[in-house]
Amino acid sequence: MPRHHRAVSDPTIVAMGGGGFSSEPDNPLLDDFVLGLARANRGRERPRVCFLGTASGDAPVYIANFYAAYARKAEASHLPLFSRSADPIEPFLLEQDVIYVGGGNTENMLAIWRLHGVDLALRRAWEDGVVLTGLSAGSLCWFETGTTDSFGRQLEALSAGLGFIPGSHSPHYDGEPNRRPRYHGLVGDGVLPAGYAADDGAALVFRATELAEVVASRPNARAYRVERSPSGDVVETELPTRYLG
């Protein structure tokens, strides 16, 4: 089946620190922003949106909440990996306009993706102009590494993200009290490279591998560049943020 979209020069990722339909069901600003990008990128007024709930073990309630949020605005679907069909994954994902990755256990999700070839299919989709987005695990996965609670409450360094965006990432930056100090500590110790942190409700918008802007569904949500200075100090720089409301 031919793909009815126009090509774009820059792949697009919207990495949400938190927010979207699963944590802000009454605030569609981030979700509507993503759909607007998909319309501009792909030229389809009613975009095709596929949900990947792998990080939550394809939790039925999570998937149902996705359909409740998106079915009226888009052609919604999901890709289950815990009860696989025989349909090839890559052609299905390349037909989408948005691939939305839910939260949960990032390390488990990445291992399962690699087992089924989803990691390679996502790279092809990204290069083809499909908008990649998600929150929490669905934000962290696009980077080389970052802070993850995949192993328990103590945040650890993610072993190997997809690496579409260079550097590290910390989602939920203002949502949990240990997020900021732990990220600072890991960057300061050289365990993590420099990167980006995003509050709940803030989203980092990348065109190719360059940060294009930060948008937010909450007036006070922010994102930051966090890096280690030559002297070993951690420098946190607040990034300009556009409130979508």
Pick the catalytic residue from 5, 78, 169, 172: 172
Indicate if 168 belongs to the active site. no
User: Which DSSP string do the residues of 81-147 spell out, in sequence order?
Assistant: SSS--SS-HHHHHHT-SEEEE--S-HHHHHHHHHHHTHHHHHHHHHHTTPEEEEETHHHHTTEEEEE
**Residue 172 annotated as catalytic:** yes
Of 197, 29, 184, nearest in space to 37 by CA: 29
Per-residue tokens: 204 = 């980092």
Q: Which of 56, 136, 150, 170 is catalytic?
A: 136
Q: What angle (nearest 5°) sits at the alpha carbon of residue 162, between those of residues 17 and 240? A: 35
Q: Which residues carry out catalysis?
A: 136, 172
